[in-house]
């Protein structure tokens, strides 16, 4: 993902969280701008507080290094926020994962495939407390 596209996606997420009633900020020093490992987005609504690492892709799987995920978890624990990986594939909505729910590669990195995001990810409304996502296998037939 290009930096410009990544920045645009992060701003989009910030605007959506703001519209859902969250106090939200994009960490200006995330990524390579500082030696400190900071999440891309911090958001809270008085009840829920999230530290989010945001990633997007045209359709290819999204990979995160073990260091990125470890830094997110470390920051979240110290800050008192829930760590979340936010993924957005082109022409799809945002989906969120707790780091422990991500697929771990043999090399110790993490991967999210588009089909996994659509099937197993927490959608935006569920993350923000505006709905509860029902899955077909959770519904009695």
Which residues are known binding-site members for Mg(2+)? 10, 40, 53
Q: What are the residues facing 88 on neighbouring strands?
A: 56, 94
Give the span between the Cα atoms of 42 and 85, in whole angstroms: 12
Spot the catalytic one: 30, 56, 57, 76.
30
Give the span between the Cα atoms of 136 and 28, in whole angstroms: 40
CB 34 within 8 A of CB 45: no
Catalytic annotation on 30?
yes
Question: Active-site residues: which are they?
Answer: 30
């Amino acid at each position: 993902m290009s930096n410009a596209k990544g920045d645009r996606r992060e701003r989009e997420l910030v605007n959506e969280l703001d519209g859902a009633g969250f106090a939200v900020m994009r960490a200006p020093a995330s990524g390579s701008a500082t030696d400190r490992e900071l999440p891309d987005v911090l958001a809270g609504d008085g009840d829920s507080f999230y530290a989010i690492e945001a990633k997007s892709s045209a359709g290819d799987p999204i990979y995160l290094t073990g260091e990125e995920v470890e830094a997110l978890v470390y920051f979240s624990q110290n800050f008192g926020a829930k760590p979340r990986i936010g993924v957005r594939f082109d022409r799809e909505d945002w989906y969120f994962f707790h780091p422990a729910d991500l697929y771990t590669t043999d090399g110790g990195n993490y991967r999210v495939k588009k089909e996994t995001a659509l099937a197993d990810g927490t959608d935006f409304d569920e993350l923000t407390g505006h709905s509860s996502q029902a899955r077909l296998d959770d519904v009695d037939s």
